[in-house]
A and B are shown apart, each in its own frame.
Chain A
Amino acid sequence: MKEYLKNTWLGIYTILVGMKITFKHLFTPAVTIQYPEVKLKLPERERNRLYVNIDDCIGCDQCARACPVSCITVDTVKSVPGEDLGTTSNGKKKALWVTNFTIDFAKCCYCQLCVFPCPTECIYMTDVFEFATYERKDLVYQFSNLSPEEAEQKKINFANFQAEKEKQKAAAAAVPKPENPSQPSTN
């Protein structure tokens, strides 16, 4: 009987102790925010959606190789002589047309491993996190600024250039050499 009364008293007392704490919290400011209306300021190192500054991209494919989930696809076409692709903002000369630079954010694991190897720092993570879509295919982002027709044209240009070069090579080989190659040179 004594034990029972003691337990009952303890039950009431410890609840009152807890109630005192919760009552105190009535007068502390709330830490929650009304999310869609009020937004937290995200820190500058925030790791969310990737962004590629394609003007600086040299198409080196290092980000795609660093990616553990293979969500980055980079396709490049070599430029032909006479085409000026300009330089990147840190002075690297561009030699490749980036015909395709897609990132599939449905696969991306936001680990930031692609950001560090980039020689021109053109791929980086932004603080954009609200990009939900209804369809998964909408999460595949194309960063290349060449249209598919332009990309096709670049490929044809390079193929033509390559064919031209082959032709020249073949023509050069067809011309008989003036000296016998088997003879070792005297000097």
Chain B
Amino acid sequence: MALKTETMVLNMGPQHPSTHGVLRLELEIEGELIVNVKPHLGYLHRCFEKHAEAMQYNQVIPYTDRMDYLASMGNNFGYVLAVEKLLGIQVPERVEYIRVIMAELQRIASHCVALGTNGADIGALTPFLYLFRDREYILSIIEETCGARMLYNYMWVGGLSHDIHPNFVRRTKEFTSYFKNTIVELDNLLTYNKIFIERTANIGVLPAETAINYGATGPMLRGSGIKFDLRKDDTYSIYNRFDFDIPVGQGLQGTVGDSWDRYYVRVREMEQSLRIIEQAIDQIPEGDVHSAIPKRIKPPKGTVYSRVENPRGELGYFIISDGNTNPFRVKVRAPSFVNLEILGELCKGHLIADVIAILGSIDIVLGEVDR
């Protein structure tokens, strides 16, 4: 006589240190194995899109900061590009260069958190501390220029809120030269650590086809071996002037598209960001960062979709203008939200402990998932 078995439902979160915020995962388990995972969202919902309808165009920018709060510069960047497209503004060269440098610094800072917490969730606390130290250095550079550590409101429609601080160029150069050492340390400490590889290689394999079907972008997609980066494939701002590579997952320690590959792509992306910063920092032209800022932002009727490559993937803004000073509708395509949907697919058949490794490699920010 066969024993009657049934699956058990286990809640992970909303208060769980490795769900990176307030995310509740409904795990359907059979013994230790995952049958299904259902993410429950909305604990951090702040009605960004509805709020934006009641704001003037420039007042929306502080709200965009608060979506992906680890990469606020990228959020600002996407929004101002969309509104500038709507208005038809050409920003000065100096602004373009500073924006690119800021966005790339932010990408490194964001990946520092992603990699650090991915390691820390699995049990490697040391690299987390080293990466946070270097992230703090980036934040202090940005703080010196714009006055805020995380929620910058730095990029404005047509320009920037402040010109760069006199120390900015020197400190950024200092950072790029010493951060290379940190990446080597990270590689030795965590990337090629056998225990870390055992925990992440062959875990949560995302085949390229599934990734495309789910609409995954960013390191998630590139980890599956697909060379797709908006900075190259749908180039915006002045990214076409710089020379950089797009790292993709190759399955060096296991299968293409496993958690380790996603981790590895982020490490290599930081190196490429350093390359972009090094090229851009010497070329910043003279100019006035305020010269193209419009007095009153009143775009003509129309719609615009503008997308940028945020650290987590394609961040898109769809704005409808009805010719007023407030946007009629702002829709955000948040990369974390789209990437999180694949979690159920990735976790099937793995152990409960692997859910944490997989979730860490997806790198979600709940502020952006819920908005």
Q: Give the B-binding residues of A (Cβ under 8 A).
A: 7, 10-11, 13-15, 17-18, 21-22, 25, 31, 43, 45-47, 66, 68, 109-113, 116, 125
Is B177 interfacial (CB 8 A cutoff)? Answer: no
Determine the distance from Cα of A150 to Cα of B62 in the docked complex, in whole angstroms. 37
A46:B147 contact, CB within 8 angstroms: yes
A43:B126 contact, CB within 8 angstroms: no
B185:A45 contact, CB within 8 angstroms: no
Known: A46-B143, A112-B153. A14 touches B194 (CB 8 A): yes
Q: Which residue of A lies closest to B51 (CB)?
A: A68
Known: A111-B153, A113-B62. A68 touches B194 (CB 8 A): no
Q: Which residue of B lies closest to A18 (CB)?
A: B189
B153:A113 contact, CB within 8 angstroms: yes
B151:A109 contact, CB within 8 angstroms: yes
B59:A113 contact, CB within 8 angstroms: yes
Known: A21-B189, A111-B62. A45 touches B194 (CB 8 A): no
Contact pick for B195, options A15, A21, A25, CB 8 Å: A15
Q: Which of B237-293 contact A (CB under 8 A)?
A: none
CB of A7 to closest CB in B, whole Å: 7
Among A13, A31, A111, residue most surrounded by chain B Cβ atoms (within 10 Å) = A111
Q: Give the A-binding residues of B (Cβ under 8 A).
A: 55, 58-63, 65, 126, 130, 133, 136, 143-148, 151, 153, 161-162, 165, 185, 188-190, 192-195
Known: A31-B133, A45-B146, A45-B147. A11 touches B194 (CB 8 A): yes
Q: List 7 interface pairs A-B (beta carbons < 8 Å), by A numbering.
A: A11-B195, A14-B193, A15-B194, A45-B147, A47-B148, A110-B151, A113-B62
In the bound complex, residues from chain A placing their C-beta under 8 Å from that of B189 are: 17-18, 21-22
Determine the distance from Cα of A18 to Cα of B184 in the docked complex, in whole angstroms. 11
In the bound complex, residues from chain A placing their C-beta under 8 Å from that of B185 are: 21
Contact pick for B188, options A7, A18, A31, CB 8 Å: A18
Q: Which residue of A lies closest to B140 (CB)?
A: A43
In the bound complex, residues from chain A placing their C-beta under 8 Å from that of B193 are: 14-15, 17-18
Given contacts A43-B143, A45-B144, A68-B55, 14 further A-B pairs with CB under 8 A are: A14-B192, A14-B193, A14-B195, A15-B193, A17-B188, A21-B189, A31-B133, A46-B143, A47-B146, A66-B59, A111-B153, A112-B153, A112-B161, A116-B161
Closest 8 CB pairs of A and B: A47-B147, A111-B62, A68-B59, A45-B147, A11-B194, A43-B144, A111-B153, A10-B194
Q: Which residue of B lies closest to A48 (CB)?
A: B147
Known: A11-B194, A43-B165. A68 touches B62 (CB 8 A): yes
A21:B147 contact, CB within 8 angstroms: no
CB of B364 to closest CB in A, whole Å: 23
CB of A110 to closest CB in B, whole Å: 7
Among B62, B162, B165, residue most surrounded by chain A Cβ atoms (within 10 Å) = B62
CB of B50 to closest CB in A, whole Å: 14
Q: Which residue of A lies closest to B192 (CB)?
A: A14
Determine the distance from Cα of A18 to Cα of B153 in the docked complex, in whole angstroms. 39
Q: Which residue of B lies closest to A42 (CB)?
A: B143
In the bound complex, residues from chain A placing their C-beta under 8 Å from that of B153 are: 111-113
Determine the distance from Cα of A173 to Cα of B166 in the docked complex, in whole angstroms. 66
CB of B171 to closest CB in A, whole Å: 11
Determine the distance from Cα of A31 to Cα of B131 in the docked complex, in whole angstroms. 12
Determine the distance from Cα of A47 to Cα of B60 in the docked complex, in whole angstroms. 18
CB of B119 to closest CB in A, whole Å: 11
Determine the distance from Cα of A66 to Cα of B61 in the docked complex, in whole angstroms. 12
A22:B126 contact, CB within 8 angstroms: yes
CB of A106 to closest CB in B, whole Å: 16
Determine the distance from Cα of A46 to Cα of B148 in the docked complex, in whole angstroms. 6
Determine the distance from Cα of A112 to Cα of B147 in the docked complex, in whole angstroms. 9
Q: Which residue of A lies closest to B290 (CB)?
A: A116
Determine the distance from Cα of A112 to Cα of B65 in the docked complex, in whole angstroms. 13
Contact pick for B147, options A14, A15, A17, A43, CB 8 Å: A43
In the bound complex, residues from chain A placing their C-beta under 8 Å from that of B60 are: 68
In the bound complex, residues from chain A placing their C-beta under 8 Å from that of B190 are: 18
Determine the distance from Cα of A111 to Cα of B146 in the docked complex, in whole angstroms. 10
Among A17, A25, A45, A109, residue most surrounded by chain B Cβ atoms (within 10 Å) = A45
